[in-house]
Amino acid sequence: MPELPEVETVRGGLRPVLEGRRLARVEARRPDLRFPLPPNFVQILTGATVVSLVRRAKYLLARLEREDTLVMHLGMSGRFEIARPEDSERTGGSERPGRFHYAADPDPKHAHVVFETEAGDRVTYYDPRRFGYMALINTAAFDLHPWFAGLGPEPLSDAFDAAHLKAAFAGRRQGPKTLLLDQRVVAGLGNIYVCEALNRARISPFKPAGSIGAARLERLVPEIKAVLAEAIEAGGSSLRDFARTDGALGYFQHSFRTYDREGQPCRNDGCRGVIGREVQAGRSTFYCPMCQR
């Protein structure tokens, strides 16, 4: 499932074509995704102007000038692709510019929702597995909605610091990885980047979180922020279905230190350990048993 860097990468691709633009046409090619689309989904969105496009946790939020916010979640295989009026002229309808590797063109049968702006840009949402979803939430009551009311701070914000982690970890016997994946503790983190950050900070994913000292938490917070920033810069991680809005694949998977590297040498300076893998709370945890103690 796409994590914070992937969702932020998608937001960065969609923002120039949606933010400040009026939706001239909206097409829902099926009545549901993971959940049924809201009643009057097409009618409410047609003619609406997107005031801003932001991210909260793993959600994309299109704030409308009307009373609603369009909430979009990619699920496991959701993908947006943009077609701009100038694309066919620039590329001759075939080659795409740039040095990036590109995902295969999505199957048209999985194109479920289409947004067209007055400027002529077309944004299509594809989702083969249909685990993604879209909803309309009244903006005035947004923070009270069950999906958002209990979310923790954004990990790239000033509100996420060692003091916050110390309070969240106090007295807890669960491992830090389990707690960092809890969206009530911090919003947007997922399995990949928690494994990476804990390895960089040389903290065991299994040690009771309440026993981790303040100095180590001071080291963990900047490592979380750094790995997220680096992943966003690389366009996220493409493991299965993720692709950017222009079809380019993310590159951060080539920088993994632990994730999906079982049996390979630890990349931390001075460590001669080998990356191990254990199942923790139903998910694969990759770590170095030598330097993460």
Alpha helices (H) along 104-213: 162-169, 176-180, 191-201
From 73, 27, 66, select the one nearest 50 (Cα to Cα): 66
Strand ranges for 118-215 from DSSP E = 122-126, 133-138
DSSP three-state, residue 206: coil
How far apart CA 293 and CA 288 sit, in angstroms, is 9
| Rg of the Cα atoms in the chain | 20
Fill in the DSSP letter of residue 148: T
Asked if 68 and 136 count as a contact pair (C-beta separation under 8 A), the reply is: yes
How far apart CA 253 and CA 238 sit, in angstroms, is 7
Q: What is the token pair recorded at 97?
A: 């510019």
Residue 94 zone, left/alpha/beta (φ > 0; ψ -120 to 50; rest): alpha
- Which residues are identified as catalytic? 2-3, 58, 283
Helix (H) or strand (E) holding 220: helix 214-233
Amino acid at 226: A
140 alpha carbon, distance to own chain's centre: 25
